[in-house]
Structure 1
């Protein structure tokens, strides 16, 4: 019993010592309060190092967030984002070596759906238009050389008065920048590779020299010798369009233009081949078959045009185009054009620089004889078009599209809407959905029979229908001046395809304030969007595109 009471007494003493403040146990130890300035006893608190690091990191994030707050600047924004911290003023310049902060940087994350950004239009007019106009405050100043180009007339370029008068009947009085660059070289008989923006007037840049040359040489050519001018295009719709332009101008000059496309049978094609004397506009497939069956000969050819060359030099057409080029005799210099040895002048035209152009052209002519003409803004984003990118789920794309169509339908002035899909099956499916919503529309895709495809784009151009759902077959060269909005329902697979689709708006003679709206869904779409955003912020050309003719690499060099 005594032992038990002693143990309890000792334990009580230990408990009192534990509860006694440190200052009483050690009178020499004092803690001073910084706020009160007097001595007081404080307990010792130990904080783990990991918790200290977390607190420091949280404080650093808070300070960084405060530093990100930007002061609004006067003027127009180049990039307008849902998150304002990624906005970029049009006067702000990003260095070429600097990696800008991107609004689409985190778009590969599943929580990014619903985000969006807009590339604003900083120019009020297209850069290739010749007519001087009042410049916006954020638009680049026009140089003296550009002002001089704007005052150039077709007659000063060397065109005959008959051609100039024919152009005036169509309302065309001044050449565009691209036409001022290409036409003089072609009139001098040079082989030309011309690459310029979509909608800049490239069709007239090769048709006018073609008509002038055929008109001058008309008296020296025997009848019944086949076409003297050949224009090769990738689609039937584009062939009909080029034929209409050539026929409208050639009618005043006594020249005829005929067109032949695939899908209508070789019996009808043979009749066209036999009746062609001046200009033939053809697609590669039917022309290749006509050459193989001896329905047509290119012995009298004096002018060969490859239009939309970046498409025709694609793997889909490259073999056919090569065989057709080898059937013609292409001149190596302007002095080769004479009455005794007939050789054709070559014009290769495109909106983007065709890949492998050097390998193919080296087989038919000397590469040194080809004059390359490029626009200053080749492979740049068009500065007069608004381009919006929406990160949406695949299930929400239809609702977004219906909203866009509804907004356009409420406008007073009716305008066209082009909806691009990546496959024919998507075009058909989307068409059924629009039918269910009682939306009048047309469909255009490559798997349609020729009889069904005929006239669809012309019906859309006349304004009878405002919505056209199509594949990339409608993105190459077709004149779509009444189109105000382009919707990429499926994001294009390459940057070249994006340039062609965006080029359906903002063309010569088209309406102002056009826009391109792109739905971004897949991870591989985000990578292309980031390249577009970087080019827009840095004001540079889109990456990964060729800008010059590369000579073919020999087999021995490739082995080395």
Structure 2
């Protein structure tokens, strides 16, 4: 007698499937970003061998950053040659770290800062109020490129990219039509494409578990998961699909004396920054959040991601799953997802198909509450 696993079948949406789960075991120990390609001897080139200046090398040493990751080995030589680039690499691979490395050693020469970091909305306001001029702009980096391709940013991008001599477009997920969109603002034919082998793939070193639950069973399952987790188990991210759910779940965790922080888009930018800084420092090890925390944040201390609400798209799942097993993490970590609605099951089917096409996973562990059909 076998056991039916929760899978991409019509039965997985049936009420008797509740309680089923399937689990993807890691197929390798380390993050793909840290692995040197076969053609490179040892661990690949050092930052010095890639030609970084002594000041940057000293800054990297102070940050205890040793060898370049795969995306850095690709990007640094191309960018040093002055090439504009489409730079695509998996989450947690060191893309934003490129910016962090520079920021950690930069000094602002008179008459003012040479580097500006900002969101599109703030940048638009700064230009409108003439706090900022673009005449001396040389380099432009667009991070989280899939989000910046929104039509509301069209006019802003056109204005800025017209002044930049070198443009770098960075992302962990590149949507179809990205090149066509960029072509409206700049000469994409002059761009070099830099892409890692693990782009658009689930992290092969991270355990991932999908649990089929009724809505009313999600909270008890989460509480049990948190209470059974060892104190040495690292930080936890709990993803919800709305700010109201973040707040509601936070009140419940308060009632159960589970110390946590909350992060959602209805908070001010200053409040969000303070909350995440406290989480990073380890003051509190549980963060309840929306997808606001799924991109562009250093979550190397996180060892467990819980999708309390299952994400809406495959890209959202990739970004959430990428919060664990990052470069600099002490352990690969795990992702646990609560699958509740019929549309959640539909997305799980897509994820299963996606896995079969892109990864060589260790056989699935599974459990069910029915006999094999």
Contact 1:288/1:323 (CA < 8 Å) preserved in 2?
no
Residue 222 (structure 2) aligns with:
401
Does residue 372 of structure 2 align to residue 516 of structure 1? no
Between the aligned partners of 2:231 and 2:288, the Cα distance in structure 1 is 22
Between the aligned partners of 1:343 and 1:429, the Cα distance in structure 2 is 45
Contact 2:140/2:161 (CA < 8 Å) preserved in 1?
no
Between the aligned partners of 2:269 and 2:59, the Cα distance in structure 1 is 32
Residue 38 (structure 2) aligns with:
144
The C-alpha deviation readout for 1:310-364, integer Å capped at 9, x for no partner, is: 2222x3xx422x223222354xxxxxxxxxxx74210000001134422331122
Residue 105 (structure 2) aligns with:
249
Structure 2 stretches lacking a partner, 5+ long: 361-373
Does residue 311 of structure 2 align to residue 492 of structure 1? yes
Between the aligned partners of 1:103 and 1:345, the Cα distance in structure 2 is 47
Change in Cα spacing, 1:412 to 1:435, as seen in structure 2 (3 Å) is closer
Change in Cα spacing, 1:275 to 1:391, as seen in structure 2 (3 Å) is farther
* Secondary structure of the structure 2 residue equivalent to 1:119: strand
How much has 1:461 moved relative to structure 2?
A: 0.8
How much has 1:151 moved relative to structure 2?
A: 2.6
Mapping of 1:371-410 within 5 angstroms? Answer: 371-408=192-229
Residue 158 (structure 2) aligns with:
326
Does residue 79 of structure 2 align to residue 175 of structure 1? no
Bigger relative contact order (CA 8 A; separation at least 6): 2
The C-alpha deviation readout for 1:454-489, integer Å capped at 9, x for no partner, is: 310110111111110000000011010111100000
The C-alpha deviation readout for 1:375-418, integer Å capped at 9, x for no partner, is: 1121111110000000000000000000111111xx25251110
Change in Cα spacing, 1:172 to 1:513, as seen in structure 2 (3 Å) is closer
Between the aligned partners of 1:468 and 1:440, the Cα distance in structure 2 is 9
Residue 506 (structure 1) aligns with:
325
Change in Cα spacing, 1:383 to 1:414, as seen in structure 2 (3 Å) is closer
Residue 293 (structure 1) aligns with:
129
How much has 1:540 moved relative to structure 2?
A: 4.5
Residue 78 (structure 2) aligns with:
185
Contact 1:306/1:348 (CA < 8 Å) preserved in 2?
yes
Residue 544 (structure 1) aligns with:
none
Contact 1:149/1:177 (CA < 8 Å) preserved in 2?
no
Between the aligned partners of 2:335 and 2:265, the Cα distance in structure 1 is 23
Contact 1:119/1:536 (CA < 8 Å) preserved in 2?
no
Residue 108 (structure 1) aligns with:
13
Residue 345 (structure 1) aligns with:
166
Residue 53 (structure 2) aligns with:
160
Given candidates 116, 119, 137, the residue that maps to 2:24 is: 119
* Secondary structure of the structure 2 residue equivalent to 1:148: coil
Aligned residues: 359
Question: Once superposed, what is the RMSD of the aligned Cα atoms?
Answer: 2.2
Contact 2:235/2:301 (CA < 8 Å) preserved in 1?
yes
The C-alpha deviation readout for 1:139-189, integer Å capped at 9, x for no partner, is: xxxx631x4372311122121222212211211121011100111111111
Does residue 267 of structure 2 align to residue 434 of structure 1? no
Between the aligned partners of 1:383 and 1:182, the Cα distance in structure 2 is 23
The 4+ residue runs of structure 1 with deviation greater than 3 A are: 537-541
Residue 462 (structure 1) aligns with:
281
Change in Cα spacing, 1:149 to 1:366, as seen in structure 2 (3 Å) is farther
How much has 1:292 moved relative to structure 2?
A: 1.9
Q: TM-score, normalised by structure 1?
A: 0.61
Contact 2:305/2:321 (CA < 8 Å) preserved in 1?
yes
How much has 1:130 moved relative to structure 2?
A: 4.1
Contact 2:233/2:303 (CA < 8 Å) preserved in 1?
no
* Secondary structure of the structure 1 residue equivalent to 2:193: strand
Between the aligned partners of 1:311 and 1:403, the Cα distance in structure 2 is 35
Residue 92 (structure 2) aligns with:
199
Q: TM-score, normalised by structure 2?
A: 0.90
Residue 364 (structure 2) aligns with:
none
How much has 1:532 moved relative to structure 2?
A: 1.3
